[in-house]
Every structure is written in structure tokens, then in C-alpha cells.
Chain A
């Protein structure tokens, strides 16, 4: 399912026109949105969504996207988001019902819950394709729509079958555990996961990029699977390194609690909050790292006709932005969320560009022959690129 909270939007690029020494072959993105305007849209959206018990959230997400797309300019022309709220509302209601069934079923019978999970799992690849087609169809630039070619076989391969493959190490782990080698099983499980996961992620990116079209041309993707192993390997290393300060932090906190004669049993909420406080930086750091590297991997391997995409997000600045955002959101009790989003979008836009000779006229010209073909590639998942299962 599209995870709107993670990919958070469209995050195209920006760069000011005043940059000197700009090569004619480099086409920049620019983000013109500002936190002031977006705050007004956002706060009204949130209020209406809560008052209508979530029904309005379909309109809210359409208006948010329209604002974000329209303020993202490429070669001086804005992107457009053209979807209508009603189909989105329908999708959300179905998702909410499935989710509610799953949650409630868990209390009544395990088999029913597993059945719900199975149904969702079987339909997931189909939903991934439909979601990508929908977003692509309603995303446009200079009047020309993106397009996603439905490839159900590929979707089932990369979003269902490969996960069944990943069940092999899990099964082996269970087997080894039952015969009394839990440690060997855990090592095998970890090794198996590490062998599969980067490979799966890389192929998913390739599949998604190559089925997107713009102006009658498909995106090309040169996959270097080794890059994904490096990304996840480094993420694991960072996780290990981060556990040292996190452990020390937790030790200090809990030691302080014991010294302060606070009985953990009578203050469970305090304990949960403290644990979150200690774990959140670890989580944000690892998430940011994989996010930055995966986004770069996606764009740097993608090209369209003679144009090569380029993303130069960096871990340091991105981490500063996310940490700053997290603090700002906590200290304003959530009111800084619009500002935080704008920060991220702006930075992402500033790091994205398209390199290639020509002035992109070929795309605009095609547009006029082609009339309005309701197809397209989806900016959001292509650029925001996070399909989580």
C-alpha cells in the first residue's frame, strides 16, 4: 500500500534560477511552496478531517498534493495533480474496513485474522499496480500526463513471490530452533534476510521505474544490485554504532529513575515515554540513512530518453532536517508539521536535477499530437518512492 506518511508527498526539487555557472545541460527543479500558505491549508484540513471522522481526509490529501505539485517547478513549469477526491475516499474506506477487520479479528480468532492478512497479501500486488496507475494518470507536467503500464505478473513476482522466498530462512530458523539450535537459527535467519532483502528492494525499484512512461518514452533503469547491499550493510553498521549511545542513554535514564525512587511498575507511561525518547533518535537516524541512499539510488539509475536523472541528497543535512523537524513538532505539539514538511520538500527539490542535452521541447511537442491520454507516471511514488508493504 502507498504509505503516505513515509514518502510524504511529492517531493520534487528546487534550485534558484540565480545560480551562476549553470550548465545548459542541467535542468533544475524548484520548490516555491512556503510554510505560511501550507499551514493554512493544513490546519483547515486537519480540523475538517477530525470533525468528519476522517471522511474529509480524501479531500485533504488531494488539496495537499495539488499544493505540493503546483509549487514544484521543473524548467519553470509546475507539475499538476489532477485526481478527484471521491475515488480516493472509496479506496480509503475499503482500506479502513480491511484494517478494522484485521484489528478486531485478532481478538476473536487467530485463523480469521490470518485469513484477512492472507487476502490483503494476495491482493497487495494488484493494489500496488492500481495505485501506481492512478497516481501516474493524474500527475502531469506541461499538460502531459505520466503513465504507468500495468504489469501484474511483475507485481506479483516482486511484491508477493519474493516475500514467500524470504520465508525460507524463517522456516529454517523455526526448524533449527525446534531441534535446539536457536542461535544458529537466528544467525541463519539474519544471513538469509540480508541476502534477500537488498536484492528484493533493488528489483522493486527497477520494476517500478521501468514501467513508468512520460511523453511516450519509458524510464530506463540501470540496476547495480551491489549498491543495495552496500546501502543496507551500511545501515546495519550505523544501527550497531547507534546502539552504543542509545544503550548508555537508557542506562542513565533508568538509573536516574531508580535513584529517584520512582517505581517503574506504578508509572508505566513514564517508562514508555522514556524508552521512546531514547529509541527515537536511533530510529530516525537509520530511517533517514536508508531513505536518503535509496532515493539517490532510484534517481541516479533512472533515465528518460537522453535525459539522466540525478539526486544528490546527503545524509548529514537530511538528518539535521529530520531531527530539527522532530524537535519542532514535539515542542509545538504538532503545529510545526507543515513547516517541517516544507523543509523536507525544499531540500529534496534542491538536490534533484535532470542532465542531458536539449531543452525538453520534444516532450511538450508530443503533448499536442497526443491529446489528452489519461495515462502517466506517478511523480509521487517515483520521486517520493516508498511503497511499503
Chain B
């Protein structure tokens, strides 16, 4: 086979011919695959890869030529492994959360309201039953909740709701539309108003930072990207990709829980409540969960960072709080 000006000549055992380069359609390069040249008459020529001068057909398949050059370099395999690891970490630790959070911040509040109503309508009547708490108890809690929330800056409109939910035990959670749900069991388990406010402050942290919307967008992003990549990356299908998706989502929600805790410590301190109330709430909850060992769907504990860690951080926040309190008292006394 040879090149004469702008045409290609070939000669084999029983075939020979020539054709202009512009009429020949070459295949893209792939390791271990011979070149195929499709000739104008529908016939094809196959050529071993190394026999094909690189400058022939230099203008076709540009992307794949570059990729092919990478694939042939031995060092690139190692570089690729590093790139895969770094890019995966970068994608799921920074790019995806960042993008999801940007989208969440541009979502109209109406979307959150719709989302909250949707989840409530699914739960109400099945998991969430009418509260059995005495009306005056509810009114009292409602009042201190409203006063507390009023003093916290940067909150979207919030509301409190009480439900009897034996299926989930002592629990509290925030819905995207601003509703904070407390279960009767939780109210019964908490020792005093301050610990009630500590739990409320944690849930208000979720509301202030729009964690529910962000979590929804992040986990949707994870599922979609995992699906896109799984087309080529995994071969066991759903089973293999389900584990990383689960791990990633719990990684995100743990970060949100820690964030809500910090928010709670600050909000409590601002309203002159010792963050120690948070520790009391945690202890009381732990007790309640040990008593009712049957509560399996335990969102409150399962997606939260380890209790001992949280308690340690609450205690640290409490020490800070007391130090500033006593400093303030000292300055007041000096004046």
C-alpha cells in the first residue's frame, strides 16, 4: 500500500486498485483493533495499526485520535487512576454539593412549600396520627417555640406541629415548608422547656439553611450521575452502585446534622440558654430509645453524627457560653 499524491494505491495477492484520499472513510484508532478503510465502492481494506502512517487521514476522528494516543501510553494508566480518584472526590465532595446548593438557593419558596405538603400528606394518617397531648401543654410549647423562633435571625416562616407517631418513637424533624414536627413521645421524654428548645433550635437550623431542599437536590444528583456513570463503570448494575449512593447520601446528611447542631448552639447561647440543655435533650432521647427498643425507623439517631461526638461538642459550646456569661457578669460588676 502506498500513497501517491492525493490517492491511495494498494496491491494484494489478487486485488489491486487506487482511490483518492478524500473518498476513503477511515475507522478511528483503538488498541488491538485493526484499521478499516471503507472504499468508495463499498469494499473495505484492513490494515494493522502499526502499518498506518500517522499523517494519513490526520483530520478525521480528532477526539478519538487524542484519546487513542493517551490509551497507548503506559504512564497514562497510572495517571488515570489518580485522576479517577481525585475527580470522584472533587465531584462528590465539592462540585455536586456546590451546584445543588446554588440551584436550591434559586428555588422559589413555593417549591419548598409544595414539597413539605407532599411529604406531610404521605405521612399523615399513616405514621403521623393526631396528637394526644393536653391542649394547654401544646399551647405552652407553641408559645415558647414562637418566642424562641422570633429571636433567631435568618429564618424562613416556620410553624410547629405535634403528632402522635408510635411508629417512629421519640422524634422530631423539619419539613421543607418550614414545619417542625414533634412527636408526643419526644415531648414526654424531654425533661424541661430548655431541652425542648434545644431540639427545636436544631430543627430550626435545618430550616434556616434549607437543608431539606439541598438534601433532595444533592441525592437526586448522586442518583442521576451514578446512573450515567454506571452505564460503563460497573458491571454488577444496581447492586454495585447502590452502596456508594447510600454512603454518599449519609455522608451529606451527617454534614447537615453537624451544621444544624452548630446553629442550635449559637441560637441557644444568643437567647441566654446554656447549650448544656442540648446534652440533657440527647441523654433523655437516648433513654427513651433504650426503653422503646422496637423503633426501627429511627431517623433521629440513624442519620445523626455519633452521640458521644455531639455531646462533646455541645459541652464545649456550653463551656464557651459560660465563659462569656461570666466575663459579661464580671464587666457588669466592675462597672
Q: Which residues of A contact B (CB under 8 A)?
A: 3-6, 8, 32-34, 37-41, 43-51, 53-54, 57, 59-61, 63-64, 66-67, 70-71, 78, 80, 92, 96, 99-100, 103-104, 107-110, 143, 265-266, 268-269, 272-273, 276, 280, 283-284, 325-326, 329, 334-335, 337, 340-341, 368, 371-372
B154 at the interface (CB under 8 A from A): no
What is the total number of residues of chain B having a CB less than 8 Å from a CB of chain A?
63
Which residues from chain B sit less than 8 Å from chain A, CB to CB? Answer: 27-28, 30-34, 36, 42-44, 63-64, 67, 70-72, 76-77, 80-81, 83-84, 87-88, 91, 111, 114-115, 118-119, 122, 216-217, 220, 223-225, 227-237, 239-240, 242-243, 246-247, 250, 289, 298, 301-303, 306-307
A49 and B230 alpha carbons, distance in the complex (Å): 11
Taking a contact as CB atoms under 8 Å apart, the answer to whether A61 and B237 are in contact is: no
A40 to B39, CA, bound (A): 30
* Contacting pair A49 B229 (CB below 8 A): yes
Report how far A371 CA is from B42 CA in the complex, Å: 6
Q: How far is the CA of A67 from the CA of B71 in the complex (A)?
A: 13
* A contact residues around B44 at 8 Å (CB): 143
Interchain CB contact under 8 A, B67 and A59: yes
Are B83 and A66 neighbours in the complex by a CB distance under 8 Å? Answer: no
Query: With A67-B31, A103-B220 given, is the CB distance from A61 to B114 under 8 Å?
Result: no
Q: Beyond A5-B237, A337-B234, is A44–B32 a contact (Cβ under 8 Å)?
A: no
Q: Is the CB of A107 within 8 A of B225?
A: no
Q: List 14 A-B contacts (CB under 8 A).
A: A4-B232, A5-B230, A5-B231, A40-B71, A44-B70, A46-B80, A47-B80, A57-B228, A92-B228, A107-B216, A109-B114, A329-B240, A337-B234, A372-B42
Please indicate the chain B residues that have their CB under 8 angstroms from the CB of A53 in the complex: 91, 225, 228
User: What residues of chain A lie closer than 8 Å to B239, measured between beta carbons?
Assistant: 276, 280, 283
Nearest CB to that of B122 among chain A residues? A110
Residues of A within 8 A of B242 (CB): 276
Q: Name A43's contact: one of B77, B119, B217, B225 (CB within 8 Å).
A: B77
A378 to chain B, nearest CB (A): 17
Question: Residue among B236, B301, B306 with the most chain A CB within 10 A?
Answer: B236
Given contacts A71-B33, A96-B224, contact A276 B77 (CB under 8 A): no
Given contacts A143-B43, A266-B301, A283-B239, is CB(A57)–CB(B231) below 8 Å? yes
Contacts A47-B87, A92-B231, A269-B250: A67 and B42 contacting too (C-beta < 8 A)? no
Report the bound CA distance from A208 to B116 in whole Å. 45
With the chains together, A268 CA to B220 CA distance in Å? 21
- Interface contact A44-B67, CB-CB below 8 Å: yes
Nearest chain B CB to A55 CB, angstrom units: 9
The answer for the CA separation of A202 and B32 in the assembled complex, in Å, is 37
Bound: A349/B107 CA distance, A: 52
A45 and B118 form a contact (CB under 8 A): no
Residues of A within 8 A of B28 (CB): 63, 66
The smallest beta-carbon distance between A283 and chain B, in angstroms, is: 6
Task: List the A residue with the shortest CB-CB distance to B250.
Answer: A269
- Nearest to A8 among chain B residues (CB) is B235
> A326 and B289 in contact (CB under 8 A), knowing A40-B71, A61-B231, A108-B115?
no
Which residues of A lie under 8 Å from residue B302 when comparing CB positions?
A: 265, 268
Which single member of A41, A43, A78 contacts B81 (CB below 8 Å)? A43
Contact among A80, A100, A103, A266 for B306, CB-based, below 8 A? A266
Question: In whole angstroms, how far apart are the Cα atoms of A273 and B86 in the complex?
Answer: 24
Min C-beta distance of A306 to chain B, whole Å: 26
Q: Is the CB of A70 within 8 A of B301?
A: no
- Measured in the bound complex, the distance between the Cα atoms of B27 and A268 in whole Å is 51
Which residues from B are CB-within-8-Å of A66?
27-28, 30, 33
Known A-B contacts A6-B237, A57-B231; the reply to A71 vs B83 at CB < 8 A is: no
